[in-house]
Structure 1
Amino acid sequence: MKHEHRGHGGHDHHAGRTSVSWGMAASATLHCLTGCAIGEVLGMVIGTALGWGTVATIALAVALAFVFGYALTMRGVLKAGVGFRQAVKVALAADTVSIIVMEVVDNGVMLVVPGAMEAGLSSGLFWGALAFAFAVAFVVTVPVNRWLIGRGRGHAVVHAYHH
């Protein structure tokens, strides 16, 4: 009987799965959270400063979360000597699902906290709700990243470029 192994990132795994620690998943999620937080805060500041409404401000914040999330991953991959085009592909493969989950959760939390989006940048309510939203998004996204990495997806595609 023939027994097949699938290789992911230079490792053999049964059915494309490998053991992933919670620490590794948390580290990948923290990386994602950093890019998302930079983009979200910048988007909220810009949208609020320009007097935009909630939907436009959230749209800008989400777009910038993706930009900064991908940029942080690309920075490390480019540093490893990978070309720009391949670095973009690696970042898209590594971060897209994680960023989507994080953005849906943290923006959902912001929308359900009464008065958070209307509170404004000088309000403790806004910043407290945002910190809470990021914490909830982190907790929800860690198991998603653990599942993805265990299947050779998500941040697993970046590990080949880390030295």
Structure 2
Amino acid sequence: MLLHFISDLIRNPELQRQFSKDPDGTMVKANLSEAQREALNKGQLEPVMKLLKTELASLELFAVVWVKAVVQVNSATPDTGSSGNTVQLRVEGDFFTTGTFAALKLSGMDLPAVTQSVENPGGRGSVLNCMLNLPANAPIGVYDLAVVNPDGHYGVLPQAFTIE
């Protein structure tokens, strides 16, 4: 990946020495494509920037490099349920990963949901499908919905679900 190679080259004196002695061999060892090696060999900014732009346009790269921590919760369907019932909950948002879980939160009380699946994990337009058991003694009120990835990054949708 060109972005990582350039970043490493800037920060790593040993890689700088290797690159000075054998630029082509160093780039091959870094698994750069022929187009990436050619652009760096030309020493012209425009072709390198064009290749970097292509890499950055990749949703997965964008999520990993810059916004992995920004778990966004956009909506929950349904948004109401009754105490003593189980609800099939569909949560839409961004950057939910495999192993993500959700919980309703109200005044220190957490009602965890059981994750069934995550659609489009790691990307924009992720969907978390889960079962939410609403205990008969659950306080009536408006709850926040937290979605937590296994790495600890999370997002909260305030006042997302009402228990009636």
Same fold? TM cut 0.5: no
Counting helix residues as a fraction of each chain, which structure ranks higher? 1
Task: Output the TM-score relative to the length of structure 2.
Answer: 0.29
Larger relative contact order (C-alpha < 8 A, sep ≥ 6)?
1
